């Protein structure tokens, strides 16, 4: 009985000591070093409208570590996201669809919740993204197996449901190619769905629509791209990437 109490006391003391070290001292030391050595990154890498760093959420326009949606023509657009409703940090993740997945390539539709309404897009797919990206950036679509004008309204907007239906037609699927290669990151989501970067090639192709929307020269827009291009991690891991948020903030601050 005496030996049992001795071992019990040792176990309780060891548990308390380890709890203090692991749940007390260690987190405080890590937090302190992070605040001292990497203050900006440890607080979310937030930036303000003028491009300067901030720790105040109310002043921030976003985090340079996380992608966020931009749809206005005057901005560079990020890569697609599969995280929740798009760039949702609480639902980070990819599609888990394989490269030969019909859903990934062709997209899918779903019936409308209103019986009298037409179907809606359930998943857009790479082919639809490619057509929309090409239209947005004045890239020609060639060798289409069906005239693409039949999928457009009077204003040139594509009927996405009709396109997806045509892609999935088992007898005569809609096929096409673009006049120049489309960067993969322009039409595919990252594994996290939160990637803040696009490739340099993607940024170069988007420069014209940004310049046109802002009524400035393409050269003026392209001159900013290298300034906000991050190199490979440790100089060797991965490819250079353009930080979309930083680039867009810089454009807003151009005189």
In the prediction, which pLDDT does 35 show?
87
Please give the Cα distance from 148 to 152 (Å, whole number): 7
CA proximity to 123, closest of 109, 141, 111? 109
Q: Is 73 left (phi over 0), alpha (psi -120 to 50) or beta?
A: alpha
Question: Mind spelling out the 3-state secondary structure of 191-254?
Answer: CCCCCCEECHHHHHHHHHHHHHHHCCCHHHHHCCCHHHEECCECCCECCCEEEHHHHHHHHHCC
Across the chain, how many H-helices and E-strands are there? 9, 9
Q: For Cα atoms 221, 225, 229, give the angle at the middle one, nearest 5 degrees.
A: 165
- Ordered DSSP codes for 107-139: -EEE--SSTTSPPEEEE-HHHHHHHHHHHHTT-
In the prediction, which pLDDT does 133 show?
97
Contacts of 136 (CB under 8 A, 6+ apart): 73, 77, 206, 209
For the chain, list residues with pLDDT below 70.
Answer: 255
In the prediction, which pLDDT does 255 show?
67
CA proximity to 104, closest of 141, 85, 129, 79? 129
CB 85 within 8 A of CB 214: no
């Amino acid at each position: 009985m005496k030996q049992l109490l001795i071992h019990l006391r040792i176990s309780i003391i060891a548990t308390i000591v380890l709890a203090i070290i692991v749940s007390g001292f260690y987190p405080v030391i890590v937090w302190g070093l992070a605040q001292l050595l990497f203050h900006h990154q440890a607080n979310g890498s937030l930036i303000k409208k003028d491009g300067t760093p901030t720790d105040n959420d109310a002043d921030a326009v976003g985090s340079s570590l996380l992608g966020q949606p931009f749809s206005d023509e005057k901005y560079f657009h990020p890569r697609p996201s599969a995280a929740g409703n798009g760039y949702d940090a609480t639902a980070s993740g990819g599609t888990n669809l394989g490269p030969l997945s019909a859903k990934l390539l062709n997209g899918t539709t779903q019936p409308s919740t209103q019986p009298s309404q037409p179907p809606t897009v359930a998943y857009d797919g790479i082919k639809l993204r490619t057509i929309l990206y090409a239209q947005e950036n004045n890239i020609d679509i060639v060798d289409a197996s069906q005239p693409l004008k039949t999928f457009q309204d009077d204003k040139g907007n594509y009927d996405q449901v009709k396109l997806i239906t045509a892609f999935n037609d088992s007898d005569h699927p809609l096929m096409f190619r673009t006049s120049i290669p489309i960067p993969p990151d322009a039409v595919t989501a990252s594994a996290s769905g939160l990637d803040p970067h696009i490739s340099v090639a993607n940024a170069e192709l988007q420069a014209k629509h940004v310049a046109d929307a802002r009524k400035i020269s393409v050269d003026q827009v392209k001159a900013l791209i290298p300034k906000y291009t991050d190199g490979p991690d440790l100089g060797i891991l991965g490819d250079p990437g353009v930080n979309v948020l930083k680039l867009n903030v810089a454009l807003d601050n151009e005189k």
